[in-house]
Amino acid sequence: MKTKILVTGANGQLGLTFQKNYNSISDVFEFHFTSRDTLDICNSDQVDAYFAENHFDYCINCAAYTNVEGAETEVKEAFHINAEGPKILAESCERHDVILIHISTDYVFDGTKKTPYLEEDETNPLNQYGESKLKGEHYIKETLTNFFIIRTSWLYSPYGKNFAKTITSKLQKNEALKIVTSETGTPTSSLDLAEFILYLIKTKSKSFGLYHFSASGETTWHGFAIQIAEQMKKSELISKVDSIPMKAKRPKYSVLNNSKASNLTNKSFRWQTSVNSTISELLKS
């Protein structure tokens, strides 16, 4: 029997990663992809009816308000999607015996630590986006026992809107770019994240709880951009800037310790290798 999987927020980059790469594995998985137009995760009646009709085994929640700057002014909307939505999904998962896999963020931390953050480290978001995502985590933990919350960082892919695509596009137009050095984190490929999620499903893992998933290593946004530019032989177009004024505060250091996830799968991904692979893909298109 096929494993039935609901993917919410299917038009975001992680949702698109599943659609573009795994929807064809029809003999193993039966994916149902929904966007806000087809399933509003903040509408409890609609969500519960959809769950009752389809009998899912897993729900991968990729739906999120991800505009970090916008969340500072659209606070209600950010909390509606990032906190109330996951709560409603968790309640339906509880009623219909569905395992929830929810994506969270490194921005739940304040960046004062000097070594990679562990799952049990104290959270202290600096911005409304981080606050809203943390609230969503709390709702899930209060509601469910069988769940996976996966915090990830600096997500990019060949799909949707993300830093890697933006930098690649600008460099293709030979634009000179100033990129900040004030934040340190780990670029993480949505393809690598999707592989981890599918590992949990394929193995029917019962190792429920909170996980940090990122590539291995760390860099700044400037270092990320240089990695892309070197692949394109356009490093001379990238220069450093200490910081850029923004509404939302960001953690200066948000590297995640990914040992719990890598020990589970016996796999790890170097951030440079995954970036190179994605940029190669983008340059073909």
Over residues 88-115, the pLDDT tens digits come to: 999 999 999 999 999 999 999 999 999 9
E-state strands within 120-208? 147-152, 155-156, 177-180, 184-185, 188-189
Query: pLDDT tens digits for 225-262?
Result: 999 999 999 999 999 998 888 899 999 999 999 999 99
Mean pLDDT for the stretch of residues 144-152: 97
Predicted confidence at residue 1, as pLDDT, reads 84
Q: CA angle at residue 97 from 92 to 100, to 5 degrees?
A: 65
Give the C-alpha separation, 232 to 142, whole Å. Answer: 47
Average pLDDT, whole number, for the chain? 95
**Amino acid identity for residue 272 in this structure:** Q
**pLDDT at 244 (0 to 100):** 84
Q: Alpha-carbon dihedral of residues 256, 257, 259, 260, nearest 10 degrees?
A: -70
Residue 285 has pLDDT above 80, yes or no: no
pLDDT in tens, 173-182: 999 999 999 9
Q: Which of 90, 89, 208, 108 is nearest to 151 (CA)?
A: 108
Report pLDDT digits (tens) over 199-230.
999 999 999 999 999 999 999 999 999 999 99
Query: What pLDDT score does 234 carry?
Result: 96
Taking the C-alpha atoms of 145, 207, 274 and 225 in order, what is their torsion angle to the nearest 10 degrees?
Answer: 40
pTM: 0.95
Per residue in 8-66, pLDDT (tens digit) is 999 999 999 999 998 776 678 999 999 999 999 999 999 999 999 999 999 999 999 99
d(CA 191, CA 156): 9
What proportion of the chain, given as a percentage, has pLDDT over 70?
A: 99
Residue 65: predicted pLDDT: 95
pLDDT of amino acid 26: 67
Domains of the chain and CATH, by start: 3-162+188-218+255-269 (3.40.50.720)
Q: Which residues are catalytic?
A: 129
